[in-house]
Structure 1
Amino acid sequence: MAKRKPQPNESEDLLSVDRDALRPLAERMRPQTLDEMVGQRRLLAPGSALRASIESGHVHSMILWGPPGCGKTTLALLLAKYSDAEFRAISAVLSGLPEVRQVLAEAAHRFAEGRRTVLFVDEVHRFNKAQQDAFLPHIERGTILFVGATTENPSFELNSALLSRCRVHVMEAVSADDIAEALRRALHDEERGLGGRGLRIGDEALAEIAGAADGDVRRGLTLLEIASELAGEGGEIDQDTLRQVLADRTRRFDKGGEQFYDQISALHKSVRSSNPDAALYWFARMLDGGADPIYLARRLTRMAVEDIGLADPRALQMATEAWDAYDRLGSPEGDLALAQVVIYLASTAKSNAGYVAFKAAKRDVEEYGTQDVPMHIRNAPTKLMKQLGYGKGYQYDHDADGGIALDQTGFPDAMGERVYYEPVERGLEIKLKEKLDALRAARARAARER
């Protein structure tokens, strides 16, 4: 029996179905309304300024700043939908200035016909300053509603002219609970999701996928789709399936971006706050994300100098020894040497008195300029220099009572005695403080008696 040929309209419908089947689950489940978006409650809560402007169709040019998979592209699509505007998307990674100009020319033509364009620029921070400037006149004239998406801090990556014409909206990583909600929706949606496959999955397994997504809804849906393919029609997504799907769980980390500097800041401040557990967590996070252990060793050495200082001089020695141990052992054995230093630095006494004293001394150097060295502490290696008074009146401290000549100064005459170093009452500096307080008081008495 001859197979009936599909009619023209039927062929188009079949092609549409085939195309839909080929689209990834994350794309098929992209929210069609604001109510379908998960996460971003602060930004898109009912009654919020942004939501009200979107729902009314009176939207503005903006920069969406947030981590991958938080909904930047989806929000741009919804902006176009709610404002009945044409949606065009370009990527700063793939597009050059000629393509940008072509898109802008098309938008200008469309604007002349009475319709606006939402121009979504993904990874906008990858455009250089000149390329970013190309958008400015079109934003000003209203030819386009500009929506730039970036994972990097706009303050550092975008020029001030573009920032002044756009509002910056900060989008947050989506919580595991919200991602789980999106996964459940995909499992039950028979039209766009996996609802017709009869899949079975427990709450714990679903939560594990949501956690592995690490704040990225798209990633969570991709993991669910892979798991569903492994389980098969009517199958169960169990722990054996998850072990295969989640074998390589990587966390979000940007070796040169803001996340990197946020995490090293968290590590440093946890050490400074004497919280070894938090410090160890951030150290492990950075190693896990691919941070260079040598960079971490250098930063730990800086912490030993800046935040522990003379309260525990052993800290600097331990930091440099751990650095050397890592050089000899490499990863993973050398990681433990650095981890132990993290714990020690966070646990021991802290003082930035040396750091503060050095900065104060540098300020005086800048303020007082080139001051002459007092004659009594100048070097006098020749007869002529001695005749000129070099070294005259110098008191050899070892010959003085107590080993210190209290009535001679070490500062230029124009400055007088200065106090930069103020030891704290922690660690070894307790002893240093006792000694220096007594010595400074004795010098002050000697100066009054002169």
Structure 2
Amino acid sequence: MVVAPLSERLRPKTIFEVVGQQHLLSKNGVFTRMVESKTIPSMILWGPPGVGKTTLARLLAESTKRPFKTLSAVSAGVKDVREVIKDASYAYGTILFIDEIHRFSKSQQDALLNAVEKGIVVLIGATTENPSFEVNSALISRSQVYCLEPLKKEDLLLLIDRALEKDVVLKKKNISIKENNDLLRYSGGDARRLLNLLELSIEAAKPNAVGEIEITDQLVSLVAQQKAVRYDKKGENHYDIISALIKSIRGSDPNAAVYWLARMIEGGEDPKFIARRLIISAAEDVGNANPTALIVANNCMQAIQYIGMPEGRIVLSQATTYLACSPKSNAAYAAIGKAQKIVKHTGDLPVPLHLRNASTQLLKELGYADAYIYPHDDPQGFISQEYMPEGLEGEPLFIPKKNSREQEMLKRLQLMWGKKYNY
């Protein structure tokens, strides 16, 4: 007799047995209200693997007693979609669950629009990717998007206890969880992975002298045979982790920054991609508070190209921790942003005559560069004159921050320009 996997045997029978997702399943949660009212709208369930997307779709459908059809975007085509819609036209409100809906092409997603809009089918799509990027905007506008979260430690521990106490196979065995750190670590918040690893570990364990099956971290680690790194170089996780890295640098936390760096390296990220983002961070977040940061980041890119990986990780770590420990200023970043906004608002303001290039005799006769004063003719290398176009005189764009280097710049600007730019 073939026995279903533990993760399948423990699949919840009602929505109230689902572990986690309390923001949706609490007493006043939106899914709880759907079940009570038996009203299910079209929706996209967005979250990492193993957090209950398929289970929730099935249980929501069962709560309404409506026809329930499933398609996998990996194998289904436009023809399959149209056949489901044709069948559903005889039973309005059929719930259509599409797993991995982000894999549907635009034409496949378009084939759903009319049926969803008219209510012929209620769409429940599941995706691990950001719907904003991967799902047709017209389809999103006709659906609610609900975010599902990785399971928390207490959720995973509850699943382990439930498996040992209620599973028809495991409750007959004398199982003792001596350590659970690696079960939790390797699961990565994925219930399916946790239960599969638990089942494999139990099968691999040898009963001790009193017939007890002991689950230890060492056993789990041997069974897992792989690192628990969830990282998709082209997916949402890719952007989330590089965002965490840059924000940790911006927040001056080298410990968090190097952790997120390690996540990217272990996930197989292109080191040149990381180095490029470090160069941007050096200019945007450190800026003139420590101009050397840009040199370090740029040299990091060159070093990566010279030596490659795995040694390149050391260079990336040096640059990352240097940027994180540097004083921060986004004054240069803010200045160009403000300047571009002004340009878009004011259009092509004419260049003042004295700043124009008098490259021909005619232009000289027209007064180009006539009133221009060459700063190097002054012993101090500075002569006050107008460099802004008419209408923007005295408009401050570069605002030094309160760090030692930019405060030095500020003193010099105050000395040169006085009150002109309100420095």
Residue 223 (structure 1) aligned to one of 178, 182, 197: 197
Distance of 1:140 and 1:410 partners within structure 2: 58
- State which drifts further: 240-249 or 214-223: 240-249
* Residue identity opposite 2:163 in structure 1: A
Match of 2:163? Answer: 186
Distance (whole Å) between structure 1 residues aligned to residue 311 and residue 192 of structure 2: 36
Deviations 1:13-70 (A, max 9, x none): xxxxx24x1x222112211122321111221113433213214533333221111100
Q: State the match for 1:5 in structure 2.
A: none
Deviation of residue 390 (structure 1)? 4.3
Q: CA deviation at 1:391?
A: 4.0
User: What is the 5 A alignment of 1:104-119?
Assistant: 104-109=85-90, 111=91, 117-119=94-96
Distance 1:333 1:140 in 2: 55
Amino acid at match of 2:21: Q
**Equivalents in 1 of 2:146, 2:340: separation in Å?**
41
Shift of the 334–189 alpha-carbon distance from structure 1 to 2, 3 Å rule, reads: same
| Aligned twin of 2:400 | 423
For the aligned residue pairs, the C-alpha RMSD in angstroms reads 2.7
1:409·1:417 contact (CA, 8 Å) conserved in 2?
no
How many angstroms does 1:386 deviate by? 4.9
How has the CA–CA distance of structure 1 residues 218 and 190 changed in structure 2, closer, same or farther, with 3 Å as cutoff? closer
Partner amino acid, structure 1, of 2:170: L
Task: Name which of structure 1's ranges 40-49 and 128-137 shifts more when overlaid on structure 2.
Answer: 128-137
C-alpha distance 383-281 of structure 1, shift in aligned 2 (>3 A) = same
Percent identity over the alignment?
42
CA deviation vs aligned residue, 1:324-371 (integer Å, no higher than 9, x gap):
122222222211211121111111111121222223333444455555
Q: State the Cα distance separating 1:133 from its structure 2 match.
A: 3.0
Compared with structure 1, are the counterparts of its residues 52 and 359 closer, same or farther at alpha carbon in structure 2 (3 Å cutoff)? closer
| Residue 97 of structure 1: how far off its partner (Å) | 1.0
**Distance in structure 1 (CA, Å) of the matches to 2:140 and 2:328:** 41
Q: 1:438 to 1:219 in 2, by over 3 A?
A: same
CA deviation map 1:261-300 (0-9, x unaligned): 2222222222222222222222222222222211110001
Q: CA deviation at 1:103?
A: 2.2
In the other structure, the counterpart of 1:282 is 260
1:211 paired with 2:185, answer: yes
Segment drifting more, 431-440 vs 180-189 = 180-189
Q: TM-score, normalised by structure 1?
A: 0.84
- 1:433 positional shift: 0.5
- 1:357 is matched with 335
Residue number in structure 2 paired with 1:169 = 146
In the other structure, the counterpart of 2:113 is 136
Query: Cα deviations across residues 213-250 of structure 1 (Å, max 9, x unaligned)?
Result: 00100001111121122125754333442231133122
Pairing of 1:310-349 with structure 2 (within 5 A) = 310-349=288-327
1:89-131 Cα deviation digits (max 9, x unpaired): 111111001112222223334x17xxx6332110112223332
Hey, what does 1:3 align to over in structure 2? none
**Does 2:19 match 1:42?**
no
What's the CA shift for 1:384? 6.2
- Counterpart Cα distance in 2 of 1:88 and 1:207: 39
Tell me the residue number matched to 2:75. Answer: 94
Is the CA contact 1:227–1:237 (under 8 Å) kept in the aligned structure 2?
A: yes
> Alignment partner for residue 70 of structure 1, among 51, 59, 68?
51
**Cross-structure match for 2:176:** 201
- SS of equivalent to 1:428: helix
Given that 1:376 and 1:394 are in contact with CA atoms closer than 8 Å, whether structure 2 keeps it comes out as yes
CA distance, structure 2, for counterparts of residue 308 and residue 266 of structure 1 = 17
Deviations 1:145-165 (A, max 9, x none): 321111122233323432333
- Letter of the structure 1 residue corresponding to residue 80 of structure 2: E
Q: Is the 8 A contact 1:375 1:391 kept in 2?
A: yes
Contact kept in structure 2, 1:250 and 1:289, CA below 8 Å = no
Amino acid at match of 2:241: Q
Secondary structure of the 1:254 match is coil
Greater alpha carbon shift after TM alignment, 147-156 vs 302-311: 147-156
| TM-score normalised by L of structure 2 | 0.89
Which of 1 and 2 has greater Rg? 1
| CA–CA distance in structure 2, aligned partners of residues 164 and 329 of structure 1 | 48
State the distance in 2 between where 1:388 and 1:190 align: 92
**What does 1:266-305 correspond to in 2, within 5 Å?**
266-305=244-283
- For 1:240 and 1:278, the matched residues in 2 are separated by 27
327-336 or 226-235, which moves further after superposition? 226-235
Distance 1:381 1:248, change over 3 A: same
Query: Using a 3 Å threshold, how does the CA distance of structure 1 residues 53 and 376 change in structure 2: closer, same or farther?
Result: closer
- Aligned equivalents of 2:9, 2:315: Cα separation in 1: 48
Question: 5+ unaligned residues in a row in structure 2: which ranges?
Answer: none
